[in-house]
Structure 1
Amino acid sequence: MENEARLKTVLDNMPILFFSLDPDFKPVSWNHECERVLGYSFEEIYSDPSFSFQNLLSGKGEGETTDFNTQLLNSDFKNWELDLISKEGKSKLVSLSNISSEFPLFGSTKWFVGVDITRTKEIERELKSSLKELSDFQTALNAVSIVAITDKFGTIIYVNQNFCDISGYSRDELLGHNHRIINSGYHPKEFFIDLWKTISKGNIWKGEIKNKAKGGRYYWVDTTISPIMDGNGKPYQYLAIRNDITERKETEDKARHAENNLKILQDRMSPHFLFNTLSIIHSYLQTNPGLADSAILMLADNYRFLMDQANQQLVPFDIEWEFMENYLQLLKLRFSDFLEVESEKIGNFKQCQIPPLTLQPLVENSYIHGLRDRKGKGKITVKASIENGKALVTIRDNGKGLKEGNIYSRSIANISERLKFYLYDSDVKIENHPEGGAIVTIVFNALKN
């Protein structure tokens, strides 16, 4: 008896529903968990002769009909999920099992154990709903955006199909690498240093990036990089969402470059330049008619170039070089007593192309900003050569050199931008020469673009 009382105390206080029913489905044993979940005390149901377990059924349970299945009492170790109604009218989903009748306990052979799984099912439904929403969001995102996830070191651990399509790389070629695999070389190192400083602090970075696809094609993406935090509030992954804006950027660049070309063309065709050149030619008609004739032909060739070639995106390098040399000779003609010019081209440039009005404005820039106010005789030297598949052009003057903070004139800034756009691997650099004056260096791919 003492052991039986101890056992009953244990069963009464178990954190699971534990009860027994008589043949009329009336509870004859009802532990505290039953009272907590369903709201009825054992005294209430025991003292109510009309109370039956069937009163708790809200309808059909999983696999059951609305009517209570009488086989419930005659089966062994069967499991059900029953939707029960508590005293407060709330629905309680209970996972229920019966205990074999071969093991009678406290005079009853129909015992049941159950677990309240109401909250578990609610969480399950919420989770399924959240997963469905997340799946729908991912589907929508993947349909329109380029998505990648990296670890905290920048190693790519996930890419969607759009990333593969636009970059030209397969998923296997991208995973395990970092984004340097698509680096175009367009942005300076400081650009990416600032990017990493931002996201490593847990902040979102937004910007436009120019990338290079596997096949060599360049493309622009509007990029948002969002850090994913660990439990300590530190970034451990980075989610990058990009949208292709190549077409818009190319349209903007073409419009800007067309405007720059127009400004340069207007400068070259200015009445001031033409008047000064014609004045010099007129003076030579009396003293050196042959030189005057040559100057007229050079001037005509220059204006023919401006009319025929200046609006092209790219022209053969030899044609651009000839235009620049004609300008050099006209410049020397105007300032023969104060200016010396020299040009040299070494190598075969037949496969080279370059944006028109690239070299001549740089020569003019050397004269205006380097030599015009110089005392004594000035000199401009232009050299072009091909080295290791790269075309190298230098324009040097022996003028006053560069003043700090005034490195780029409008011409040099425009030319640098146009070269970057049309010749992606190009570079323009201007600096003071160790022997005095300034030197502009242009490097670009010697193969035809």
Structure 2
Amino acid sequence: MAPNDSALITGRSGESGDAPAGRGRASRYVVPIAVAGVAAATIGLVPALAASGDPDLPKISAEELIEKIAASETERFSGTVKVSTDLGFPSLGGLGGSAAGAFAPKGGAGGSGSAADPTARAMELATGEHTLRVAADGPERQRVSILDSADEYSLIHNDDEVWAYDSASNEAYHAEVPGGAAKSPGRDAGKGADKGGPVPEDLPATPRDFAREALKAAGDTTAVTVDGTARVAGRDAYQLLIKPKQSGSTIGSVTVAVDSETGTPLKFTLRPSGGGKAAIDVGFTKVDFSRPAASTFDFTPPKGAKVTEADEAERAGGKDTHKAPEGLKDLKDADGVMGPGSEPNVIGEGWTTVVRLDTGGKGPGGATKDAPAEARQFLDALGDKVEGKFGSGTVFKTRLVNALMTDDGEVYVGAVTQDTLVKAANAAK
């Protein structure tokens, strides 16, 4: 691939289609797989011409390529997607299971007591490498299968029914949604979806899902160019390169490989400003834009499978699964820590946006002042102690999302550096 030499322009807007249905407030800031949308809140367009490369494609400007993505009407496809995520979460060793359990909904991993409940499965894609088999036939029929071992997990939406099946446990989860309003797995189909539905509303599964998040709006904080061409999943593609103009972001660049014929994003790669391997890399390895066979979306539970009905799970308490994690709710009730009702304050713009959350309680320093020395030492080892006009606090880091928790109970979080978090906390005082 040859890089493209081009001048920058800003101030134009571009969209890549309808934004996904609204997320719960807690997941919006907790689930790290959404960081691309938060970090790329504003994008300035660049009229860049694609340089000659391999394959040799007609020249196109970045503005035209973004318009091509927005105009893409691809609703039918099937293929294989590879997802690789390395967000750099700190390892808690043997505490990992206990920590996860503290924030797990009641009733088991999925909250309903079923190993097939789709709620918990979305988080699996936030770490490691995964292979997905995907298929879609318009807004009424989609299927996503996770193929990480000899076992298989599938989420199927077919008109007014949603099935999830876990072959390892031979358990199935079933929900009925009037009028086929269920949010499609990994797609933005099903407009007017029931926001209180029984399946996760946002399960990114294809490059298009991630690209849509990164191309929601435009502004003056980002440069966009066409950075040559590529072959992805056997198809000719343009490479759209998105980079921040601002300093202080943990996002280095986003590259979207766009199918030259259909305008469909085929690959999405997000690289951190600190260098190293991609933090998020999602791409088709095989893709077919013809209509999948109708049988692809048929599902009947195997003989002997345990079937959990969504309405039964809700009556048994599984309804809380699709709300805020129980651990966050309990913390708010007991200690005043932020729950789903808290409204965040936004500081800054573009790639250096920081979200401020007032928990109403004590941060790690204040809360553990009277804790045993071993407990204080453990918490200090997880982050870096910082001081400023705001007082003192601890910064907890990943490769993309960092959070400053002050000792007086405020939280500042964003895809920004430690210095940017400290500046935001100082400015808020």
Q: Tell whether the structures are fold-level matches, with TM greater than 0.5.
A: no
Higher relative contact order (CA 8 A, sep 6+): 2
TM normalised by structure 1 equals: 0.20
Higher helix fraction (1 or 2):
1
Q: Which has the larger radius of gyration?
A: 1
